[in-house]
Structure 1
Amino acid sequence: MYKNLIDHIEKYVPLKDSEVETVCDCFGSFSLNNKAFLLNEGEVCKSYYFTAKGCLRMFFYNDKGMEQTVQFALENWWLTDLFSFMDQIPSSYSVQAIEKSEILAVDAANYNRLLEEVPVLERYFRIMSQRALAAYQFRMKLIYSLSKEDMYWHFASSFPQFVQRIPQYMLASYLGLTPEYLSELRKKVR
């Protein structure tokens, strides 16, 4: 499991052997069953999560009590409620495994230790943050410029691995569709 993390980090920044050891010392690992929660809305987010295997989602309940999925994390993706994690305040989100998952987690104290003892990780986490922000900005552009149908087809062609792995109602929630409309779209051949 740690190999996935180290390989991912080394795609962006080099690590010395001693730094690899520090990284491994700072992360805890655990398995999650399908539908298990890492975080419930209202709890303080204690860790920054790296998905070594499996898939996670972050969601909240809207004013109608419906789940609104805002983010997914497949293998080698990071996920956390950054506001809650950084400020140690109650989260506005829940984080749930949507299939059996292997997770690496770094708590706030060890995250700060990592940044201090392995300075190159400042660059790595900056790159991860920049990539996440760029993806968010692109998603916002698509939301405002594409029809719901085109949004689905763009997503399906860009991320076919998601379409096969994620339950339809979660994908519909993420795309701002009803599950029924998504079902109709999936029946269409493009």
Structure 2
Amino acid sequence: MVDQLIAHIRKFSTVEEADLILLESLIRRKTYQKKELVLPAGHRCHYQHFIVSGCMRSFFINNKGVEQIVNFGIENWWMTDYDSFVNERASALNIQALEECEVLSINKLGFDELIRKSSGLANYFRIILEKRHIADQRRIQYMFNLTGEEIYDTFFNLNPEFIQRVPQYMLASYLGFTPEFLSKIRKKKSQGLS
């Protein structure tokens, strides 16, 4: 499991062996069962989770009582509530395992120590956060500039692995659709009408 994380780190940054040994000493292996809450809203987020296997989602309940998906995470992605983790306050988000998940988790103290001691790991996490921010920014732009069908096509082309792994109603929530609207788009596509 740790080898998977180290390989991921090396894709983005050069890191000294001593820093990887420090990382390994600070992370904890955890397994979450399907549908298990990793972080319930209202609790402080103490960990960042590197997903070794499985799929997770972060979501909140809006003022109409409806779940709104903020993000998904799959293998080799990080999942956390950054606002709660960084600012050390109660989370507005829930994080849930959608499948059985194996993760490598690091707490705030360990993370801060890594960033302080390792320029290579600091660079790695900077790149990962930049990638996450860019993806979130593009998603917002798509939601304001594209039609529903264009949003679905873009998501499908960039993330085909989610289409089979994530229930349709959750995908609809993430894309800002009703499940019925997403069903119409998928039906139209299956009939070759787009």
Q: Which amino acid is the alignment partner of residue 111 of structure 1? A: F
1:149 partnered with 2:158 = no
Report the equivalent of 1:16. Answer: 16
Q: Which amino acid is the alignment partner of residue 138 of structure 1? A: R
Post-superposition Cα deviations, 1:5-39, rounded to whole Å, max 9, x if no partner, equal: 11111111122322221111111111111111110
Report the equivalent of 1:138. Answer: 138
Q: How far, CA to CA, are the matches of 1:85 and 1:108 in structure 2?
A: 7
Report the equivalent of 2:74. Answer: 74
1:11 match: secondary structure: helix
Asked whether the 8 Å contact 2:16–2:120 carries over to 1, the reply is no
1:85 match: secondary structure: helix
Asked whether the 8 Å contact 2:19–2:121 carries over to 1, the reply is no
Q: How far, CA to CA, are the matches of 2:16 and 2:86 in structure 1?
A: 27
Q: How far, CA to CA, are the matches of 1:149 and 1:16 in structure 2?
A: 46
1:64 match: secondary structure: coil
Report the equivalent of 2:61. Answer: 61
1:165 partnered with 2:165 = yes
Post-superposition Cα deviations, 1:121-169, rounded to whole Å, max 9, x if no partner, equal: 1111111111111111111111111111221122112211011110111
Report the equivalent of 1:111. Answer: 111
Q: Which amino acid is the alignment partner of residue 177 of structure 2? A: L
Q: Point out where structure 2 has 5 or more consecutive residues left out of the alignment.
A: none
Report the equivalent of 1:124. Answer: 124
1:122 match: secondary structure: helix
1:178 positional shift: 1.1
1:133 match: secondary structure: helix
Q: How far, CA to CA, are the matches of 1:4 and 1:42 in structure 2?
A: 32
Identity of aligned residues (%): 38
Q: How far, CA to CA, are the matches of 2:49 and 2:150 in structure 1?
A: 31
Q: Which amino acid is the alignment partner of residue 124 of structure 1? A: Y
Report the equivalent of 1:178. Answer: 178
2:34 match: secondary structure: coil
2:142 match: secondary structure: helix
TM-score w.r.t. the length of structure 1 is 0.96
Count of paired positions: 190
Q: How far, CA to CA, are the matches of 2:103 and 2:183 in structure 1?
A: 31
